[in-house]
Amino acid sequence: MNKTIVGALVGATVLAGGCGTMLREAERLAVQSSPTIGTPTATLPGSPTDSPPGGATGTPGRPGAGDLKQAAQAALAAVPGSTLISIETEEGGTRWEVQVVGKDGTEHQMDVEAGKVVTGPTTEEEDAADKTKHRERVAAAKLDYAKAADAIAAAVPEGRVTELNLDTEQGKTVWEADVVTPDGTKHEVAVDAATGAVTRNNATTS
């Protein structure tokens, strides 16, 4: 708006005795019409554009058995029709050593990292007795590795399952596991592979 018009508005307002509302309106119009004054744009702290992309999913060492299951699924896919009998990693590690057995009891070993098989699978050289033992344990296990891992994770809340093996204990087929909690406590847990009952849960501190 032209300064002459603004001045006329102000003068008219003063003459009319309206020193309040009209004066403020005239000033507002003058500011809006100025080419050197604009409305700045700014990104407020904490807005979506400030957020870094990506997330923390899949972080090694997270509680539970999620990363163990991911590695197990990759290993089982590498040997169709097989059954997992052993999986383990170092504490906080990202690579898993996995053993699966085929329907005939033949054992296959491989390494899995980030959900992908990176080494193997290789076939273990075993005799007929070893293959029979594998088949018998697999047949006796009503719980697969995933259900066993869930039972173990429930027995040790906030713990990370670092090792899981199908074995025999006191004449029973069991899933044995090592679980590490954030405070460094290591739990040795056993689950009856037929019933799902936790039969042992020993804790040791390093």
> Does 85 have pLDDT greater than 50?
yes
Does residue 32 fall inside a structural domain?
yes
> Does 104 have pLDDT greater than 60?
yes
> Domain limits at 25?
3-38
Q: Say whether both 127 and 34 belong to one domain.
A: no
Single out the residue of 99, 95, 70 nearest to residue 164, CA to CA. 99
Tally of domains in the chain = 2
Q: Say whether both 82 and 126 belong to one domain.
A: yes
- Sheet with 83-88: list strands edge to edge: 116-123, 107-113, 95-101, 83-88, 160-169, 172-180, 185-192, 198-205
Q: What is the pLDDT of residue 126?
A: 87
Q: What is the pLDDT of residue 43?
A: 39
Q: Say whether both 32 and 70 belong to one domain.
A: no
Can you state the angle between helices 21-33 and 3-15, rounded to 10 degrees? 180
**Residue appearing with tokens 């700045």:** 40
Q: Say whether both 197 and 155 belong to one domain.
A: yes
Taken in order 189, 99, 77, 160, the sign of the CA dihedral is: positive
Does residue 48 fall inside a structural domain?
no
Q: Say whether both 110 and 21 belong to one domain.
A: no
Q: Output 141 or 52, whichever has higher pLDDT.
A: 141
Q: What is the pLDDT of residue 41?
A: 41
What is the band of 30 on the pLDDT scale with cuts at 50, 70, 90?
very low
For 110-114, what is the mean pLDDT? 94
Q: Say whether both 70 and 33 belong to one domain.
A: no
Q: Say whether both 83 and 158 belong to one domain.
A: yes
Does residue 100 fall inside a structural domain?
yes
- Contact between 157 and 201 under an 8 Å Cβ cutoff? The reply is no
Does residue 12 fall inside a structural domain?
yes
Q: Say whether both 15 and 90 belong to one domain.
A: no
* Mean predicted lDDT score pLDDT of the chain: 77
Q: What is the pLDDT of residue 203?
A: 86
Does residue 154 fall inside a structural domain?
yes
Q: How many other C-beta atoms lie within 10 A of the C-beta of residue 173?
A: 19
User: Given phi > 0 = left and psi -120 to 50 = alpha, else beta, which region is 38?
Assistant: beta
What lies within 8 Å, CB to CB, of 168 at 6+ separation is: 137, 174
pLDDT, tens digit, 9 for 90 and up, residues 9-27: 334 443 444 444 443 544 4
For 101-108, what is the mean pLDDT? 95
CATH number, residue 96 = 3.10.450.40
Q: Say whether both 72 and 32 belong to one domain.
A: no
> Does 114 have pLDDT greater than 50?
yes
Does residue 56 fall inside a structural domain?
no
For 77-91, what is the mean pLDDT? 92
Does residue 44 fall inside a structural domain?
no
Does residue 195 fall inside a structural domain?
yes
What is the band of 97 on the pLDDT scale with cuts at 50, 70, 90?
very high
pLDDT, tens digit, 9 for 90 and up, residues 147-191: 999 999 999 988 999 999 999 998 999 999 999 999 999 999 999
pLDDT, tens digit, 9 for 90 and up, residues 42-67: 433 333 333 333 333 334 455 567 88
